[in-house]
Chain A
């Protein structure tokens, strides 16, 4: 009887151990993924808001029209939060890439990558419509 009790207690102990370890693993993994996702989701929103802000006075189209890629990179660096990497590609209406230079502030070391697609209409006398692809990542 004593031996059987011992065995049962060991099983219960083992079960509890597994449960505790598994719970800890599940909760921590869940928390990590949730935090990553939240950052990732906010990132797309932050990127979209940055483009809207730049476009509000027509300066986004002006940078593109003037092919001032360095200026565009600098202004994006200023608007986006620190620790955010970006890589922008500008296309015309026929989806031909316009930017000859890379519009980016560094390598994508982070795991959380967000993508924003944006249409920019110019204000000038000659109308241009640009399609912008913006990739964002949080530096790890």
Chain B
């Protein structure tokens, strides 16, 4: 097992190098990264612009910029004053040593900017994922046990609608109904923007209240797909011989379903969840934009619009690493749940 993990990690290295190199080429051309420096009121003088480009290393060939992003430049002399003579050591330490560079927009470490936002996104994602998994297991099992009944057809139709639902449409409807109209009708309305009331501060109650709508929007869309999946898995499992055996030896239905059927039906869900988790970070761009949630998706949107290379690349890098790590965790968890599988 240890050897398997090590081999997988080693295989991931070239993969990550390819991904980041491709993304770096794209990101480096997202627009004028220096636009953020002049501020809105004054434009950069050509001399200042040249100096900034030199300091940020933007005057270098792309391949060199990528290398510096990856391994830093504190081991080589760089030319800072523009006389074509390398004079002092660089200050960048490179992503591989945890230095993501400084955000162009905010002029502080990109990792700090991302770090502030990542927890907000994770809060939303993990909460939604937990709700979705529990509900999907319940709904999917119910649907499978009552196959072709009225409720099964209703659930199937609803999950198709949920699966096809553009998340922005659902989000706008939720805001319009619970935020705007409830207020109009004098009912207790839900907050629709931000994480907490500025007058109250970030208390647990406030955040929970502000999370309700974005959480609903996110959950409905994933719930549809997951519950369909659980249903089809469950249908396959409950027709197996060992389920009949369990019934035959007189076990109560509850025990059979929970102990024998659900455990096996839920297994493939582990893979889906493991592969979806990091991608869900991306699925929140639109949700976060609509609900004004200060998360990573919104940060990415803002940073990529402004040509803020360190922040944009930082977020993409974190996601790419998370994908690889989650794939590995999924495989390992799988062997725990299903002892028949062994990796060599």
Binding partners A and B: no
A residues apposed to B, CB below 8 Å? none
B residues apposed to A, CB below 8 Å? none
